[in-house]
Every structure is written in structure tokens, then in C-alpha cells.
Structure 1
Amino acid sequence: MADTTTRTLKLLALLQAHRLWAAADLAARLDTTERTVRRDVERLRDLGYPVESVRGAGGGYQLAPGGSMPPLVVDEEEAVAIVTALRSAASGPAAGLAEASVRALAKVTQVLPPKLRRRADALRAMSVTVGDGDEAPAVDAEALTTAALACRDATELTFHYAPAARAQSAPGRRRVEPLRLVPVGRRWYLLAYDLDRHDWRTFRLDRLRDARPEKRRFNPRTVPGGDAAAYVRNSLRAGREQHAVVVLIHADAELVRQRIGRHAEVADHPDGALVTMQIDDARWIGVAVGSLDADYEFVDVPSEVLHELRGRNAREARALYLAGS
């Protein structure tokens, strides 16, 4: 059995990584008894960590908002800076960074004291972001973190949703069992089982408002096919919300996967990498391919996308010509 200090630190890490732990589960994870778990919880409380006890069936222990952020110790200004930076990164297009930022933001805000949360909200409200007009639709950081925690804890989630006009579905309150958050292109999607429609649904996060976790917990269902990311991409393709574009990029396939693999399907090719993108905006092609600094050619591109690209390139060529004259 681990010594008291090591075991208490492990208990603290477990409480941080999960919303609610049953005493029996904690005892099993720590290789100890429930009685010892109760004593270790009291030690954490004596150290100032707000560990709450939830009584009754399905009860246990959870770390309440207002605690420090172990094992890091930061002051108030640093805490506000961390939350602000994570919110910006969570809504950004960088492959891999946005998803990791959502996970980190969910953990930090779970234990952030109310006073610091208000400061971070005020800073966001009074800040102005200067962009280039190509940003993805704004996603509320609170919706992202709420959905992320609900997915992690297998907790029923309700929210107001405004579907696309072509979906022929009325706006309204939705009640779901959330499974995964999936970034595709420059957007975030929530894959969830809709409890009122008795089927899987894909929700765009920028159309989701007033997300609230409910008390009911559930055993996560298995998505058809077993791959959440593939299911979301296929559902977008079936809904004709996006266009499929195939590009042959003359660069190392592994490098291409590292750069844009999170947002596209990348296959090895004798001349480089064969990339299949699902897009709803032709500008995303330039963003994705331009980040690779490599020659490329279109293998398959819809006529409407090709027309838009040609128009854009013609305007850029004209501007460059005039700049040099």
C-alpha cells in the first residue's frame, strides 16, 4: 500500500479528473479501504480543498468549485490569464490545439472560484479580437466546456439548438446523451444520442445555446461503426452541408497528417499524400494546403468550389499585377 502522502496526492488527482467518484471506486483505484478513503478526504479538506460528499444511491465524492488548482499553484492574475488564453485557443482552428484546450479549460473552470470566473468573463466581454475575416463561427467557451464535461462524465445534457434552415427542423430544446466533441474543418460538432428522437444526431456547437448538465447519468452507447469522428464526417456528407474535395499534395504523407490530419483524411500516394477534405467554405482549402508550403493539384473538386477558387485567384492575381506596375 502506498504511503499516506502519495496516496493522498493520487486521491487529489482522481478527484480532479472526474466529476463524481463512488467511495468503492476510489478505494479500488488506490488499493485501500473505503474507511481509509474517508480519512484521506478529511486530510484534503484540512488542507483547504473543498471535497464534497454526495449521499444516497449514486453518491460519492467530488471536488467542488473554489479550490486551488493542484498540483499547480497560481495567483489570481495567472488564473485569469490561463482561462482567457484557453478560451481563445479553444475557438481557434489549429489542429490538435483546440481540442486539448477544451479539455484543459473544462478542468480549470471546474475548480475556478466564482470571483475569478467573473473576472475572466469580464475580461472576455471587454476585449476586442482583430482577425482577418476568415475565422470560424464563434463558439461560446461555456458551451464547449459544459459539453466536454457532460461527455466525460456521461451526464445527460439539455440545450437550445437552432438547426440550419435546410434541415427543415424547428429550433427548440434538445435532450441528449453526449458522446464526443469532434472538430471538423474550422467547426466543432457534438455527437450525441437524441433522447426525444431516439437516434444519433450531430450538433454544431456555434448553434448551441444555454447548455445545462442534468442529474441523470447513463452508460455511453456505442456509435454505429465505432468511430465518432468518422460518424460525424459521414453525417455531414450525407446532409450535404459540405463539399468533398480531393487534393494530391506533393509532400511527405506523415507530415501532412501531422499538420491537417485532424481535419481531413490523408492517404499515402506514390507522389506524396492524397487528401480528402469535407468543406463548406472554399477558403478552408487555402488555409489547409497553404500551411504545408508544398505543390499540389486537384484530383476531384466540385464545379461550384472550382468556380469560387478561380474567382478568388483572379482577384489576387490582379492585385499582385497592379502592385508591381
Structure 2
Amino acid sequence: MIHTSSRLLRLLSLLWSRPSWSAEDLARRTDVTQRTVRRDIARLRELGYDVVSEPGRGGGYRLSESRGGPPLVLDDEEVLAVSVALREAAQTRLLGDDQAVLSALLKLRELLPARVASRLGAMDDVVEHVPRVCEETVPADVLAVLAQVCRHSERIVVTEGRGSGTVHEIDPFRLVFTGSRWYLVAREVTTGSWGAFRADLLTDVRSTGRVVRLQDPPDAARLVAETIENGAAAEAAPRR
């Protein structure tokens, strides 16, 4: 039998996937008894989800037409943790355009049961902090592309710098965030040297379609720290 939290999320996902479910079908899909399904439905209602019981032989359940947003099962502490993290991301511009983060916060608030929304509202009223604002932002979609090519070890061609810039063919390895800037640690194909490139200066990222196996990659965080310490970060010059 799967863990209760996972089962609740699975149940909510099933209810979301089609207009109506019989108790028997839900029990079979979640590998529990119909009695447990009824308890789980009650728990979802306690969490603020409007699950409607349908009359008839065997009974059934469906989500109310007024449901808003995708299925999400978080306890009170988890909601607060997510909200604080989103607030921090918005204030530091960690992901560049903070409008997406603010939009996520608003959508989250719309999904919250009243008791949780009240608690979060109290934090909004009294909590202040001085964030470290990113010096140069990088759009979230650019970070996502760079993360993908790093993950799949795809060789890419990028233009570094504003204006005409300099074209590099590189093998990306890791993204590093220092608290004020994003860096891409990558191997320069022509020289074989490793470098820390400022992600905010990289444009026109293009995959070559070639997957490479990186030999003896460096400690990415240490390389970025050393590059900054040596004063070479502004130029993003590759280092051996």
C-alpha cells in the first residue's frame, strides 16, 4: 500500500483526469479498499478540495466545477516553505523576470484553504528581509535551455557578449549561481580548456546535436569561485 500522502495525490490526479469516478474504480486504481477511499475523500475535503459525492448504485465522486488550478497536496508547513521560497526568488530576481514568480505566488494563494491563507497572510504582513539582488538577470527560459544541454551533455554554439559578440563552441557541464550572478561552466572545444561563462552574456544558444562524454570535469563551484577571485569573471575567459 502506498504512502498516504502519495495516495492522496494519486487520488486527486485521478479525480482531475475525468468527470466522474466510481468508488470501486478509485479503490482499484489506488490499491485500497472502498472504505479507505471514503476516508481519503474526506481528507481531501479537509484540505479544501471540493469533492462532490454522486448518488446512485455504488456511488461516485467528482471534483466540483468550481475547482481552480492543478492537483496539489501540501501540508501547512510545506505551503509556507514554498511561498517563502517564491518570495525570495521574486525579490532576488533569481530567475530573471519576477513576474512569473509573482504569478505563481498568486495562483498558489488561490488554491489555499482559508486557515493556511490566513497564516501566510500574517507572514506577508510582518516578514521583511534584505535580499541579495542579482546584478544581471538571466531569463528563466534561457536557464532552462542551458540546464537541458548540461544534463544531456550536448555540445552547443553560443554567442558571448552584447552586440556582435564572440562565437564559442562549447561542451556545457554545470550552471553555478553565486548569489548575484549565474555562470555556465563549460569546456571550450577549440582549446580543450575549461571556463566559467557569465550566463547573462550568452545569447543565441544553439545545440549541435552532438552528445559528448566529458573527461575529468572540474569542481564547477570551485572553478567559478577561482575565476571570480582571479578577476577573470568579467571576461569569462576559459582557464586550463
> Shorter chain as normaliser: what TM range?
0.3 to 0.5
- Give me the TM-score of the superposition, normalised by structure 1: 0.33
Structure with the larger RCO, 1 or 2 (CA within 8 Å, 6+ apart) = 2
